[in-house]
Amino acid sequence: MIPSQYNITAIIEGYAKGYFLMSDDDGQGLGWYSSRQRTLIPLDDRFRYPKSLRRALNQNRFETAISRDFLSVVDGCADRDTTWISEDLKEIYWELHQAGWAHSFETWQGDELAGGILGLTIGGAFIGESMFYRIPEGSKVAMVKLVEHLRSRQYLFFDAQMMNPHLERFGAYIVSNRDYRKLLKQALSMPCTFI
């Protein structure tokens, strides 16, 4: 049973204030976290992707889908040696998904889930929580196609939370927490729909 302070309304309010949920180091509890800076994936012409990915995109190796197999994407994101996605957090994501806040953006190769990105949408903000792949290039193609989808739906920003070399290859950039909160405030008033 998830503690009452993690009901859907409280969780969305937390994200709307610029915080995010993670399980504690021992995986036994949940906590709200913030950061002095946030990583954003550009939704304008600053977005780029590795040339090596063009072949996979041009050959249409993958089909994309939204939340066709949400729980498998959550499991895929959590399936690593050290993970901050605990069983409680999996349950919270499922409840957020059922309430229309959490989504998975997926790539498929036939009947096989190739990769996916897990995130929450609030107004014009897409808050990426995690990503994974089972087939090489699966999550990278998901990233490119998700950016196209967010542009078409007129989202203001794509929050990737923490910078890493993989995200840098897509043109990810860092903003201060102060600038992030300004963007978030603007995004909250936008009537974007993900599906």
C-alpha torsion 148→85→36→182, nearest 10: 40
High-pLDDT (> 90) share of the chain, % = 82
Does residue 9 register a pLDDT over 70? yes
* Model pTM score: 0.94
Dist CA 68 CA 162 (whole Å): 26
Confirm or reject CATH 3.40.630.70 for domain 4-188, answering yes or no. Answer: yes
Tokens of 67: 């939340």
Q: What is the pLDDT of residue 116?
A: 98
Does residue 194 register a pLDDT over 90? yes
Of 105-114, 161-170, 174-183, which gets the smallest average pLDDT? 161-170
Query: Over the stretch 36-53, which tens digit does the pLDDT of each residue have?
Result: 999 999 999 999 998 889
Dist CA 147 CA 93 (whole Å): 21
